[in-house]
Amino acid sequence: MILFSKAFAHKEQTKVIPPVSGGGLSEDGRFSYGYSSLCGRRASMEDYFETRISRVNDQVVGLFGVFDGHGGARAAEYVKQNLLDNLLNHPQFVTDTKEAIAEVYRQTDLDYLKIADNNPQRDCGSTASTAVLVGDRLIVANVGDSRVVLCRGGQAVPLSTDHKPNRLDERQRIEQAGGVVLWAGTWRVGGILAVSRAFGDKTLKKYICADPDIQEEVIKEDVEFIVLASDGLWDVITNKDAVALVKSMFDPESAAQRLSEEALRRGSADNITTIVVRFHHEVPLPMQPSLAHELEM
């Protein structure tokens, strides 16, 4: 995402980060994952991501997130460092995961805004798309225009809907709060911000919330994989095309790399971060040294 007005986009000095990729396999062999992150054609990197396998109450859980910053990288970095930790520490993480996610998203935003108040020269924000695996449950939460897409029976199924200011329900919410949605190259809140929900963005906070949309799926045998990505991917690749590109690729790291590279080839002008999580429904895979992921206890 790109802020329209430089007056509201106090740029930080961010480092250009070389492309990174990697992956892992859950201890029980139920799922594997891969990630790829490119700076692309942007001068600096404002995407962050998190891939984590942990254990809660003797249950292996997977946590994945993509965080796309705008106006600087500070908010995205903060969300990466704190959101999933806060979730794992929530007392209802296993018993009521959806409620825990909703509370943690809002509280993490409030915590960040307190820090941002001490640095008024920097007003940045971040999207967040997360996928949490607890047993056979997949819980997806989204704020902003990063996105999660599932492949079920070979077909693309969106698990999140982008929070854009011209989305009817979002526009109504903004206008009811006293804000306006204006066309400035694209639809923007106050003519400035091209997403309607985000962490941070304290000068627009009256209209920009961090309340996530949450969707839960049961991982049955027809569920093959999910793709999480920043809008640097989705700006140029459809949900259907993303699923088609990944479908024949067993290794999720190679699949994530292919998606990111294809987005760059198709002209994406943004940072591109992609995570692919593939589910294994047959005999659990043996632990492979190249994929083994050390559990965080």
The pLDDT assigned to 270 comes to 96
Residue 293 predicted with pLDDT over 50: no
With beta carbons less than 8 A apart as the criterion, state whether 215 and 150 touch: no
255 Cβ contact list (under 8 Å, min separation 6): 34, 225, 245, 246, 249, 276, 278
Which backbone phi and psi does 255 adopt, to 5 degrees? -65, -45
Which backbone phi and psi does 14 adopt, to 5 degrees? -110, 145
With beta carbons less than 8 A apart as the criterion, state whether 287 and 268 touch: no
The pLDDT assigned to 18 comes to 79
The pLDDT assigned to 121 comes to 53
The model carries a pTM of 0.89
CATH top-level class of 6-279: alpha beta
> In terms of Cα–Cα distance, which of 102, 112, 119 is closest to 81?
112
Percentage with pLDDT > 90 across the chain: 81
- pLDDT bin (cut points 50, 70, 90) of residue 122 is low
DSSP 219: -
Cβ atoms within 10 Å, residue 128: 29
Residue 131 predicted with pLDDT over 90: yes
> Average pLDDT of 267-281?
96
| Residue-wise pLDDT tens digits, 12-61 | 444 557 789 999 999 889 999 999 999 999 999 999 999 999 988 888 89
The pLDDT assigned to 59 comes to 85
Per-chain mean pLDDT for the chain: 89
User: Which amino acid would we find at residue 254?
Assistant: S
> Average pLDDT of 88-115?
95
The pLDDT assigned to 111 comes to 96
SS3 for 14-61, per residue?
A: CCCCCCEEEEEECCCCCEEEEEEEECCCCCCCCEEEEEEEEEECCEEE
> Average pLDDT of 113-137?
86
The pLDDT assigned to 123 comes to 81
- pLDDT bin (cut points 50, 70, 90) of residue 166 is very high
> Average pLDDT of 214-228?
97
The pLDDT assigned to 12 comes to 43
Domain regions of the chain by residue span: 6-279
Cβ atoms within 10 Å, residue 177: 11
- Tokens for 293? 């992921």
The pLDDT assigned to 10 comes to 38
- Rounded to the nearest 10°, the torsion over CA 225, 228, 233, 237 is 40
CA dihedral for 173, 174, 177, 180, sign (positive or negative): negative
The pLDDT assigned to 6 comes to 32
* Poorest-pLDDT segment among 145-154, 211-220, 279-288: 279-288
- pLDDT bin (cut points 50, 70, 90) of residue 8 is very low
